[in-house]
Homo-oligomer: A and B are copies of this chain.
């Protein structure tokens, strides 16, 4: 199982009509690096570089981060400070949550705060 990152990057770059060199220049990396990424000769780049790549080719940062299996440092650092967050992640991992299930959890997250903050802590 290759990382699939390279293949997807190549697809998206071509859809954007960019050469490797042009893309590389826009995101600020060496063009040969892009080539190696597309051929899976090197592991996926840092989350920050993945994000710049996604932006340059007009793709979803979340999709590209997902295929790269990277978490932006800021997000990770912010999230993991709570023991309950650790529990949540471990459970989600062992349950192997599907995409739709994750979507459902996003929905729960939204509803967490959009309902009246009247003071009660459980509905």
In the complex the two chains form, is A109's CB within 8 Å of B85's CB?
Answer: no
- Determine if A103 is an interface residue (Cβ-Cβ < 8 Å): yes
A interface majority secondary structure: helix
In the complex the two chains form, is B84's CB within 8 Å of A103's CB?
Answer: yes
**Size range of the interface on A?**
35 or more
- Determine if A119 is an interface residue (Cβ-Cβ < 8 Å): no
| Chain B residue with Cβ nearest A75 | B93
**Min CB distance, A77 to chain B, in Å?**
6
Render A86-106 as a binary contact track against B, CB cut-off 8 A, 1 for contact. 111111110111111111111
Given contact pairs A66-B81, A69-B80, A82-B66, A95 touches B108 in the complex (Cβ within 8 A):
no
- Determine if A60 is an interface residue (Cβ-Cβ < 8 Å): yes
In the bound complex, CA of A86 to CA of B103 (Å): 10
| A residues in contact (CB < 8 Å) with B | 60-63, 65-67, 69-72, 74-93, 95-106, 108-110, 112-113, 121-122
Closest 8 CB pairs of A and B: A84-B102, A78-B93, A62-B86, A75-B93, A62-B83, A66-B83, A108-B108, A63-B83
